[in-house]
Amino acid sequence: MADIHIVQEHTLGKDAARAAAQQVADKLAGEYGLGCRWDGDVLRFTRSGVEGALTLDDQRAAMRIKLGLFAMPFASAIEAKVTQNMRKVFGAA
């Protein structure tokens, strides 16, 4: 499995950070067919061959994605797209 780790600093409050995380989740769900659910301050997402979590705290959002064998060839493209999306919705701190 390939692992992707992305951390984005933010200056958003808790509610705004959660709304931003939901935007990221909605985009992931639409583009990659992922199912998403909240578990406290952690947004978990899955689909066949992909699983991960977006964890929120006061000043950062941390995304962890595990890619299965068939998704591995797309790891760099997925990482670039998710990084860009997180930067956009969370903004640079």
> How many structural domains does the chain have?
1
Q: What is the pLDDT of residues 60-85, one digit of tens each?
A: 999 999 998 888 888 898 889 888 88
Q: What does pTM read for this prediction?
A: 0.82
Q: Which residues of 55-83 are buried (b: 16+ CB within 10 A; e: fewer)?
A: bbeeeebebebebeeebeeeeeebbeebe
- Containing domain of residue 69, as a range? 2-90
Contact 67, 49 (CB under 8 A): yes
Q: What is the pLDDT of residues 16-42, one digit of tens each?
A: 888 888 887 888 788 878 888 999 989
Residue 64, domain CATH: 3.30.160.110
Residue 64 β-bridge partners: 5, 53
pLDDT for residue 30:
84
